[in-house]
Structure 1
Amino acid sequence: MPPQRPGNALPFLLLTAFRVLIDELHVHLAEVGHPDLRPAHGFAMQMINRGGSISDLGRRLGVSKQAASKTVTGLEHLGYVQRIPSATDQRQIEVALTARGVEALTVSGEILNRLRNEWAARVGEREMTLVEDALAQLGRPDGLERIVGWLGA
């Protein structure tokens, strides 16, 4: 049995693996026409895809309305999102993905599936499934919403 790593190694192992995966994702995204997307954009686009206003986005990301608005403005300039009048409240503006935004999320999912399979080929499918299952048990259902604001994005 290999020696147990100290507990302080775990966060760095998780963060390093996450960083490698996301960096590789963005290399591939750039190759298929999305060179300006950044990791924070991906988190925001996931939340925008759920619908709602800039205020809703800010709450989901754990950031101020001003920070959410700045993110939306940046994504608008890149062609990934658009502001549209609310169907239920004429005072409110909602944010929605454009066709380019939907395509970027779709391609991201395909790339991440491919990268996951490459990792499984390296460590073994059984081991990969064990890691995924363990992380699913240890995480939280609202993990994506909680992580972005916590990271300070």
Structure 2
Amino acid sequence: MNRSGPDLALLLLAGFRVLVDEAITGLAELGHDNVRPVHDFALRAIANGAESASELGRSLSITKQSAARTIAVLQERGYVMSGPDPRDARRKRLQVTALGFDALHKGEAILDARRRRWAEQIGHERLEALEDELAALVGEQPVRFDAAGWMARDLAT
């Protein structure tokens, strides 16, 4: 089969989409019917130290205003809370709540189950080889949190 570069990009995107769609559907069935992919990026960034709208914006490569809107939605839905910063009483600090971590962990379990089904479908060795080859091509580092902002940037140009 003779595929092009765009074909490869679309296959990789389709694989990502299958995983994300299944996670969103599965999370809804488990009681997290209001979690979206951008929320996962934001929750992970906050869990990894983005404690303010400015820091979240930088982590996700989005504006401070977009980060503030995302934070407001996550707070309203109970996934994030804002509490006093022990280092500076004038400052509020973002934290992922138990509900937020529950959504993250359940999403991870759904993705792990999909990976197991793919391994059964094409074989464990072939899936591991595919993962090894992709890691060799793109590098071992995980996708950065700013992927959501990267995908949306430059839309006005």
What TM-score results when the alignment is normalised by the length of structure 2? 0.89
How far off its partner does 1:151 sit?
Answer: 1.3
Q: How does 1:1-150 map to 2 (within 5 A)?
A: 3-51=1-49, 52-140=51-139, 141=141, 143-150=143-150
How far off its partner does 1:142 sit?
Answer: 5.8
Identity %: 39
Q: CA separation in 2, counterparts of 1:57 and 1:72?
A: 9
Pairwise CA RMSD? 1.6
Which digits, 9 at most, give the CA deviation of each residue in 1:40-63, with x for residues without a partner?
111111111112222111111011
Q: Which amino acid aligns with 2:40?
A: G
What TM-score results when the alignment is normalised by the length of structure 1? 0.91
Q: Which amino acid aligns with 1:128?
A: L
Where in structure 1 are there 5+ consecutive unaligned residues?
none
* Contact in 1 for aligned 2:85/2:91 (Cα 8 Å): yes
Runs of 4+ in 1 over 4 A off after TM superposition: none
* Contact in 2 for aligned 1:54/1:94 (Cα 8 Å): no
* Contact in 2 for aligned 1:49/1:96 (Cα 8 Å): yes
- Count of aligned residue pairs for this structure pair: 151
Which digits, 9 at most, give the CA deviation of each residue in 1:107-146, with x for residues without a partner?
1111111111011111111111112112222335262223
Q: Give SS of 1:117's match.
A: helix
Q: Give SS of 1:8's match.
A: helix
